[in-house]
Structure 1
Amino acid sequence: MRQSGRLWALLGSVLISISAGSTYVFSSYAPQLQTALHLSSTQLNVLGLAGNMGMYMSGPLWGRWIDKSGPHGAVLVGALLVLSGYGMVSRAYKHEWHDMPVAILAIFCMLTGLGNSAGNNAAINVQAKNWTGTHRGSAMALVLSAFGLSAFVYSTLSHVFFSGNVTGYLDLLALGSFGCFIAGMALIKVIPPSEEEVQAESARRRSDYRRVPEEDRETLQSSRALPKHLSRMRSSSETSARVIAWIRDVADAEEAVDDDNVEEEQEQEETAHPQENVTGWALARNVDFLLLFTILGLVSGSGLLLINNVGTITHVLYEYARQQRKQASALTQVLLLLIKDGKEHEIQRIQALQVSCISLGNALGRIVIGVVSDMVVLRTKQPTYRTYLIIPVVVLATLSQGLFALPNVINSVEHLMLVSCLTGLMYGTLFGLFPVLIFEWFGMQSFSQNWGWSSFAPVIFGNVYNLLFGMVYDSNVPKQGHSHRCLKGEECYRSVFYVTTVGCLVSLVVCFVLLWRRVGNFSSRVRSLFSERRLAIE
């Protein structure tokens, strides 16, 4: 009975999360909103950033409320916020409220971010508390993947049912999100593991420990490798689940292992590598946190730049291709002729395709980084080696931004599709890895607060990059008229990606500094690892 209740709660969390990521579909209707409301590109980016600020900056506040009062109130308030936010944006578009101050429109967009943040935090909270370590990781991965797929679901629905009908699309976002939140709220329920389940989990771990042959254990202890590896291996299988702030009580209960040998190993580990809880001003002064903050900001800021402006970029490349049809590639011509009944239908369809690519890459990246991260830890027996996974994340970001910066490379909508996929993959891996590092490095007790402060990095750097994009784009728009359309193709915005590419290269340098501080000499660690294996064989 308890298990079936958890499964229904899991379905409710998935329903909520499948709509909670709709903040990322902004670019799929942004160009049409810009035209209807006579907005400049800078003003349009202010609206997108307002949604992102609502999403990223409110997480700690929602988490505190959910911890104290449960998830249902937060989900209900989130549903009302999303309904009112998208509903007002829809009315503004339909009735062309171009005289409305941009600050008021930004508040409407911020409401959508606030509501989605409430729903996502509540959905994660329930699954973090409902499962033991055996199943918690799978449940969390399912919820996080649904969040990443949200933009794909809504952009696909817009293409199928609301092609060329932006008002209908915005109403779908309002009513669909509200309906999913309410349906999910009716299903979610906190059903924490019983004492028997916790004891069974602890017994399983003790039996896993005892399966290690005594002679191998002594050999490894002689090389002083086991105290570190055993404790870390036991915790690494739950890492993806424990990065959630609200599992402290459950995790504490599951850590109460009675086996004297395991306790002795933990004491030795704590002596050699104390798990201190770093937060507040101590966190702000911590060099490793500042390095992580810098990487997170520079990389996620470049991702948010494309996520918020892919609709505008699609529009620019589409219009430029129409002007240069004789020079356009065959695939571009096919995309331009997919729909016969109007240019706006074509543009909205291609925008939805680009958003879908980002969304699918985002969801795939979250899954892949979790699997690869656990494999690295299990194969190397060294959780610190997880830090090396920052390198491919930063390389993906540098590659995507560098392709934009090169002239005559991303000059058509099908080339843009490639970069959209790369950016989505980078963004998913980034936000699948960094919460784990924050949790492992600075402690579980204040993880919610620490990750909340970390989430300011995308807001800060995303603001800078997006506003820079808006200013560069507006500088290339003809001064007469209200179209706010640049007709220069990729030259409308390409110089912005020089800045983001340099930022990604800087983050790569910072990444190596961080590796040097956290992991140390890689070659010596490899030699040590092989020497341990040789001793075990002998």
Structure 2
Amino acid sequence: MRNTGRLCALLGSLFISISAGSTYVFSSYAPQLQTALHLSSTQLNVLGLAGNMGMYMSGPLWGRWIDQSGPHGAVLAGAILVLSGYGMVSRAYKYEWQNMPVAVLAIFCMLTGLGNSAGNNAAINVQAKNWTGTHRGSAMALVLSAFGLSAFVYSTLSHVFFSGNVTGYLDLLALGSFGCFVTGMALIKVIPPTQEEIQAETTRHHADYNPVPNENREAHPPRALPKHLSRMRSSSETSARVIAWIRDVAEAEEAVDDENAEEEEEEEESPSQENITGWALIKNVDFLLLFTILGLVSGSGLLLINNVGTITHVLYDYAHTQSKQAGALGQMLLFLIKGGKGHEIQRIQALQVSCISLGNALGRIVIGIISDMVVLRTQQPTYRTYLIIPVVVLATLSQGLFALPNVINSVEHLMLVSCLTGLMYGTLFGLFPVLVFEWFGMQSFSQNWGWSSFAPVIFGNIYNLLFGVVYDSNVPKGGHSHKCLKGEECYRSVFLLTTLGCLVSLVVCFVLLWRRVHGFSAKLRSLFSRRRLAIE
């Protein structure tokens, strides 16, 4: 019965998450918004950053509310915020409010981020508290994958039903998000595991880890004595008493060791019992290292997510201006796409957003399943930390391809990087919430993850504003179109910086492994010593 309730709550979380990720569809309508309101690239990035700031910086506030009052109030508030935010952006586009200050438009975009943050935090919080350790990662990954799939769902709906109709698309975002939030709110419920379920899982872990069952540990068998002490047993009454005293001391030490071992096992299997939050969290070295990796990697992902529409326009216009032949994939795309140039570009934008979204969703599912498998096989939750390495490698690869000249110079090549970036972003946000939960505790998980969410805001703001400045510096002066005609050189220098940031995060990753994973330093020294011997 409890599992049925948990499955209903999981379904409700999926409803919420499938719309809570709509912040990532900004780039699918951003170029059209820029044209209608005559915005520069820097101003457009300010709007995108406002949505991201609402999404990530409000995390601690929503987390505190959810931890103290439950998820339902936060979801309802989020539903009202997304309806208001997208509704006002739709009106601004439809009536071309060109004289409206950018700050006011940014507030509308921030409302969408605030609402989506409320829904996302509530959906994750419910699943984090409803499941035991062996299923928690998979449940959270499923919800997070729905969050990542949101952009694909809405961009596909816009492609099918609202091609060339940006106003209808924005109205769909407003009403669709509101409906999903309200439906999910009716289904979600916190049903934490009972003590019996936790004990059963612990027993199962011990059975898997120790195939030979232990005897009853309450009755400690006497420890075998050395042969010379056994021979002393019959020598005299005094020596017999001494031997008995030695045995008693040995048994007492064994009992203490057993109790300590049990406590260590319980702490390792239930790391969420520890609760670190507030200033203690911010001063925690492991949290700061995790924060740095999250910021550097997610910031590079947000750079492409927010600007893929602009990059698509640049590559498309540059290819046609230079009269270059598109590749086989590009020719097939252009053949299948019918309508004017505006419809064509909008559909290619939707395709790029869909690639990012599908990669995002796939990454969240895969990393959740793999992380749970790692814990089941090793019986060591800290071994999840190793999975940060492939995440950072994916980020470095995707950013490095952008940084290389004449590599990503067409819309079909851009699809490859969009898929890689989505996969990287999904694995990142599928893994890190579980690490925060297990390292710093369940009681304040939403608050702690909210503080972690400041990392994408800080680094994402820096990267996106830098993109806007670099792009605007390459736009011809005196025009009103705000279009750069230099192809990839309009923005490529920004990706040199993001690639460097990913390399730094790789170094930080090994420092974190050194600190968190027991025996990692010994394995590393052993690896280097073997290589040195092989060279010699």
> Which residue, out of 196, 202, 205, partners 2:202?
205
Q: How far is 1:207 from its partner?
A: 5.4
Moved more, 405-414 or 279-288: 279-288
TM superposition shift of 1:90: 0.6
How far does residue 480 in structure 1 lie from its aligned partner after superposition? 1.9
| Residue equivalent to 1:369 | 367
1:11 aligns with 2:7: no
C-alpha deviation, 1:444, in angstroms: 3.8
1:33 aligns with 2:11: no
* C-alpha distance in structure 2 between counterparts of 1:442 and 1:95, whole Å: 48
| Counterpart position of 2:263 | 267
Aligned partner of residue 411 in structure 1, secondary structure: coil
Q: Which amino acid aligns with 1:40?
A: S
Higher deviation after alignment, 397-406 or 117-126:
117-126
Structure 2 counterparts to residues 429-444 of structure 1, below 5 A: 429-444=427-442
Supply the AA of the counterpart residue of 1:177.
S
Give the C-alpha shift of residue 120 in structure 1: 1.7
Contact 2:67 2:444 in 1 (8 A): no
Q: How far apart, CA to CA, are the structure 2 residues paired with 1:520 and 1:318?
A: 51
Give the aligned partner of residue 80 of structure 2.
80
Cα distance in 2 for partners of 1:142, 1:444 equals: 19
- Pick from 261, 279, 282 the counterpart of residue 281 of structure 1: 279
Which deviates more from structure 2 when the two are superposed, residues 180-189 or residues 464-473?
180-189
**For the structure 1 residues 440 and 322, does the alpha-carbon distance in structure 2 shift closer, same or farther, using more than 3 Å as the test?**
same
| CA offsets 1:76-111 (integer angstroms, 9 cap, x no match) | 221111011001001111111111101000000000
Q: 1:91 and 1:440, CA in 2 relative to 1: closer, same or farther beyond 3 A?
A: same
Q: Name the residue aligned to 2:241.
A: none
Deviation at 1:201, TM superposition (A): 4.9
Are the equivalent residues in 1 in contact too, given 2:144–2:429 (CA < 8 A)?
Answer: no
1:202 maps to a residue whose letter is: Q
Residue 178 (str. 1) matches residue 178 (str. 2)? yes
Q: Which sits farther off after the overlay, 460-469 or 443-452?
A: 443-452
Residue range with higher mean Cα deviation, 164-173 or 141-150: 141-150
**Secondary structure at 1:21 match in 2:** helix
Q: Distance in 2 between matches of 1:166 and 1:90?
A: 8
Comparing 457-466 and 358-367, the one that deviates more: 358-367
> Which region of structure 1 is more displaced relative to structure 2, 364-373 or 108-117?
364-373
Most deviating of 400-409 and 430-439: 430-439
Pairwise CA RMSD of aligned residues?
A: 2.9
Aligned to 1:250: none
Aligned 8 A contact 1:325 1:333 in 2: no
Give the direction of change, closer, same or farther, for the CA distance of 1:309–1:272 in structure 2 (3 Å limit): closer
CA distances 1:389-434 after superposition (whole Å, capped 9, x unpaired)? 2221111111111110111100001110000010011111111222
CA distance in 2, matches of 1:367, 1:26: 23
For the pair 1:495 / 2:512, whether they are aligned, the reply is no
Residue 350 of structure 1 pairs with residue 359 of structure 2: no
Correspondence for 2:234: none
Q: Which of the numbers 414, 417, 420 marks the counterpart of 2:418?
A: 420
The one-character-per-residue Cα deviations of 1:273-325 (angstroms, maximum 9, x if unpaired) are 99864433333333332222221111110000000000100111111122233
Answer with 500-509 or 81-90: which moved more. 500-509
Note closer, same or farther for the CA distance 1:192–1:374 as it changes in structure 2 (3 Å cut).
closer
| Aligned pairs, number | 485
Distance 1:513 1:476 in 2: 39
How far did residue 210 of structure 1 move? 5.0
Question: Quick check: which has more Rg, 1 or 2?
Answer: 2
Q: Contact 1:74 / 1:119 at 8 angstroms: preserved in 2?
A: yes
* Greater CA drift, 100-109 or 511-520: 511-520
Which letter maps to 2:463?
Y
Give secondary structure in 1 for the equivalent of 2:512: helix
1:317 maps to a residue whose letter is L
Deviations 1:361-382 (A, max 9, x none): 1111111112222333333444
Work out whether residues 300 and 462 of structure 1, in 8 Å CA contact, stay in contact via their aligned partners in 2: yes
State the AA in 1 paired with 2:263.
E
Match of 1:127 in 2: 127
Q: Which amino acid aligns with 1:267?
A: E
Name the residue aligned to 1:461: 459
Q: 2:398 is matched with which residue?
A: 400
1:330-383 Cα shifts (integer Å, max 9, x gaps)? 322332343232011111111111111111111111111122223333334443
Separation of aligned partners in 1, 2:402 and 2:461: 19
Quick one: which amino acid aligns to residue 266 of structure 1?
Answer: E
Q: What CA distance in whole angstroms lies between the structure 1 residues aligned with 2:17 and 2:373?
A: 27
- Which runs of 5 or more residues in structure 2 are unaligned? 216-255, 527-536
> Could you tell me which residue of structure 2 aligns to residue 511 of structure 1?
509
